[in-house]
Amino acid sequence: MSLRIRLAVLAILCLATLGFVAVILLHGPAPDLPQIASRHAVTFLLVFALALVQLRHAVLAALVALGPMLALPWLGAIAPLWPGPAASNSLGLAFGYAIAAFVAEAAVANILGERAEEAALGRMETSWAASLVCLAGFLAAGVGLGVATFWQGAWFALEAVWASAAAVTVILLAAPLVPRSEDFIARWNRRHEFESRLFSELAAVAAPRWGRSAAGIALVMAAIAFFGARPQLSGFVWAGSFALLFVAALAGARLWRAALGAATALVIAMMVAFWVGRAAGTMDWIPFSVIPLFCTTGFARKLGRLQETDPSEAGLGAVYGELAGRVVFAILAAAVSLAGLMSMWGAQWLAAEMVILAGGTAVLVVQPAFTAIFISLLPRRRSVEELYRTS
């Protein structure tokens, strides 16, 4: 896409956003507008600080912090026309920040390529679509169980689609316009090398030996959390969540053993989050599990393929060190975006934060461990060429 087209599309997007802001103000702002604005300002500053530390570039950090927020005026203009309640639970904003962080990190990692942003999008679009389908499944189940109305669930889904699409659009259009100096590339390389060395130490859980130990600890925690949550949530909720997560992970990872490991790890994280967060028996926090689901599909696909074909310590360490930093950045960006809800959502806020953070831990530790176990227990049939190479 040429420079003029990028600038024109960005200008139209910004003007349309300002127009929706004007429409909202002309029709009378909400009584709690100052409080809402202050919460979003805190969110912007926290995400900007996190992105600045990770990306080492102020303009790119501002794009990550601003991208999902561009959807808010559009949603605010649509809300009065919505047939049902249009109250936000900030799931869409958190999901948008996870995608913005992932796309920006992947784009900078491909800084020497001619189409870094498009390459970043090409690798995550399947995970994005699978996560949205899983979110739709969770919301449909909530409507069927009477937890929410149809229009409430549809609004939550619209928020997730719009915020994530706004984040991707802004980064893809504006990132090529950002000046990138040699000093920035040097800072980025130093940080990336440090992260690779740091996270490669955790790659041992992707091997069967240490994977069994990590999986055993996770199962003990899951058993404690399950019986602690049993009086409030039945096993049907966990079974349904596992089925949805497995189908979505399979669509994103395209390896059924890795998808099985991802679904198992995320359900364990949900149990622990509910047990620690004490969410008072409600299920509003469950859809937040799509955020770690989005982060795990690409990670599980690349790491799982290596676990199946060439599970050497050096190879696993290299892939783990390359991808883990992006997962951590996306998880933290989503978690800090919910900071403004601390004073208004109580136990529900804590449960949502715990789902995101526990899910991120499960993505990095529990998912590779269970994938290694499933591969060792259910090995795939190798071709003659693979047997020849390994021998």
- Among residues 117, 145, 177, the one where a domain terminates is 177
Could you list the residue range(s) of the whole structural domain that residue 115 is in?
A: 3-177
Residue 48 belongs to a domain with what CATH number?
1.20.1640
Confidence of residue 264 (pLDDT cuts 50, 70, 90): very high
Minimum mean pLDDT range among 90-94, 175-179, 237-241, 371-375: 175-179
Where is pLDDT greater, at 19 or 158? 158
Rounded CA gap, 315 and 311, in Å? 7
346 to 95, 273, 277: CA distances (angstroms)? 20, 14, 10
Do 151 and 286 share a structural domain?
A: no
pLDDT at 116 over 60: no
Same domain as 231, residue 172: no
Amino acid at 4: R
CA atoms within 13 A on the CB side of 121: 14
Cα(41)–Cα(61) distance, integer angstroms: 15
Tell me, yes or no, whether 288 and 188 share the same domain: yes
Task: Give the CATH number for residue 379.
Answer: 1.20.1640.10
* Residue 112: both structure tokens together: 């020497």
Percent of the chain with pLDDT over 70: 82
pTM (two decimals): 0.87
Which of 160, 177, 194 is a domain's end point?
177
- pLDDT of 163 > 70? The answer is yes
Rounded to an integer, the average pLDDT of 74-91 is 79
Residue 329 has pLDDT above 80, yes or no: yes
Residues 295, 319 within the same domain: yes
Q: CA separation (Å) from 249 to 246, 261, 293, 363?
A: 5, 9, 7, 12
CA dihedral 158, 161, 167, 173 (to 10 degrees): -110
| C-alpha of 154 from chain center | 20
Instruction: Evaluate if residue 43 carries a pLDDT over 80.
Output: yes
Assess whether 302 and 345 both reside in one domain.
yes
Q: Is residue 92 predicted with pLDDT exceeding 50?
A: yes
pLDDT in tens, 209-220: 888 888 899 999
| 198: Cβ contacts below 8 Å, ≥ 6 apart | 321
CA 364 to chain centre: 13
Banded pLDDT at 333 (limits 50, 70, 90)? very high
Say yes or no: 289 and 302 in one domain: yes
Residues 155 and 231 in one domain: no
Cα separation values, 52 from 44, 48, 266, 308, 338, Å: 12, 6, 29, 36, 18
Record the tokens describing residue 88, joined without a space: 């936000």
**pLDDT for the residue numbered 114:** 43
What phi and psi values does residue 32 have, to the nearest 5 degrees? -100, 25
Secondary element (H or E) of residue 64: helix 58-66
Nearest Cα neighbor of 102 from 72, 136, 137, 131 is 131
Judgement on whether residues 255 and 359 belong to the same structural domain of the protein: yes
Query: Are residue 173 and residue 118 in the same domain, yes or no?
Result: yes
pLDDT of residue 124: 76
Last residue of a domain, one of 177, 212, 234: 177
pLDDT more than 90, % of the chain: 8
pLDDT value at residue 97:
92
pLDDT tier for residue 112 given thresholds of 50, 70 and 90: very low
Q: What is the pLDDT of residue 347?
A: 59
Note the pLDDT of residue 260: 92
Question: Quick check: 246 pLDDT over 70?
Answer: yes
pLDDT, tens only, 132-162: 989 888 888 888 877 778 888 888 889 999 9
Q: Which long-range contacts (CB under 8 A, 24 or more apart) does 105-109 make?
A: 105/54, 105/55, 105/325, 105/326, 105/329, 105/330, 106/326, 107/171, 107/175, 108/55, 108/57, 108/60, 108/188, 109/192, 109/326
Q: Are 108 and 133 in contact (CB under 8 A)?
A: no
Does pLDDT of 231 surpass 50? yes
Average confidence (pLDDT) over 101-105: 85
Under DSSP, the state recorded for 83 is S
pLDDT higher for 76 or 382? 76
Radius of gyration of the chain (CA): 21
Compare 18 and 198 and report the one with higher pLDDT. Answer: 198
Judge whether residue 357 has pLDDT over 60: yes
| 130 plus 29 within the same structural domain | yes
Domain match, 226 and 348 both = yes
Q: What is the mean pLDDT of residues 150-175?
A: 87
Q: Would you tell me how many other CB atoms lie within 10 Å of the CB of residue 9?
A: 15
Same domain as 324, residue 246: yes
Q: Work out how many domains the chain is built from and give that number.
A: 2
